[in-house]
Amino acid sequence: MLEKLKLEVIDAGKKLKEYKLITLTGGNVSGRDLETGYIVMTPSGMEYDTLTPDDITVTDLDGNIIEGKRKPSSDLKTHLQIYRAKKDINGIIHTHSTFASCFAVLKEDIPVISTTMANEVGGKVPLSKYAPVGSDELGEHIIEKIGDQKAVLLESHGVFTYGENVSHALTAAVMLEDSAKVYYLTRTIGKPEELPEEEIKRANELVIADIELDFQN
């Protein structure tokens, strides 16, 4: 069932490791199937290099297991909360990527200081309030901060990125970490300036237009 989406989720997990956004079994990836509404998600406690489609869990939006022999990720509840609240989100990734997580620990938003971040992340990445992993409050705090941008920082924890599909959520995770690194390093030698709102909007609209064209094709 949903073999193509399972392979997309596994591939995204492997790329997170390749881009050094996760270590060992950290983080998780999920995708929503548009036809059935089912959620495909990485299991708990397994490294991505070892995953096969049989290891991937399929659930409905209430968390009932439809298929899979493994225990779902401990963040399943949070992913499901986001999917139920946001019909336009069909891919979610959670990481503890180093530079972005620095600002989560500092309890700071990450501003847009480059066109790259404006393109691929879509705007300032806000900080959501702290809540324990797996709690209802964690998902609620993330949802409160979801706007036009494709990422939210989790206070004292890590990062959630999301998008129209798994691929877009992965791109946001990779480019957010790259942008967070630039912001971090820039702050060590000077005071970075935020891009004007009109430039952020202009850069993001270019990417949105490309996404819409992809869907049409």
pLDDT of residue 206: 66
List the pLDDT tens digit at each of the 217 positions of the chain.
Answer: 899 999 999 999 999 999 999 988 889 999 999 999 999 999 988 989 999 999 999 999 999 999 998 988 889 999 999 999 999 999 999 999 999 999 999 999 999 998 888 888 988 999 999 999 889 999 999 999 999 899 999 999 999 999 999 999 999 999 999 999 999 999 999 999 888 788 777 777 766 545 443 544 4
Q: Phi, psi at residue 91, to the nearest 5°?
A: -150, 135
pTM of the model: 0.90
Q: Phi, psi at residue 92, to the nearest 5°?
A: -135, 140
Find how far residue 165's CA is from the centre of its chain: 10
Q: In this structure, how many other beta carbons lie within 10 angstroms of the beta carbon of residue 68?
A: 19
Q: Phi, psi at residue 11, to the nearest 5°?
A: -60, -40
Structure tokens at 115: 């066109």
Rounded to a whole number of angstroms, the distance between the first and last alpha carbons of the chain is: 25
| HSE-CB of 186 using CA atoms within 13 angstroms | 15
Strand duo 39-41 + 57-59: pairing: antiparallel
Number of residues that make up the chain = 217
pLDDT of residue 195: 82
pLDDT of residue 151: 97
Residue 181 falls in which region: left (phi positive, over 0), alpha (psi -120 to 50) or beta: alpha
172: CB partners within 8 A, 6+ apart: 93, 120, 121, 122, 150, 151, 161, 162, 163
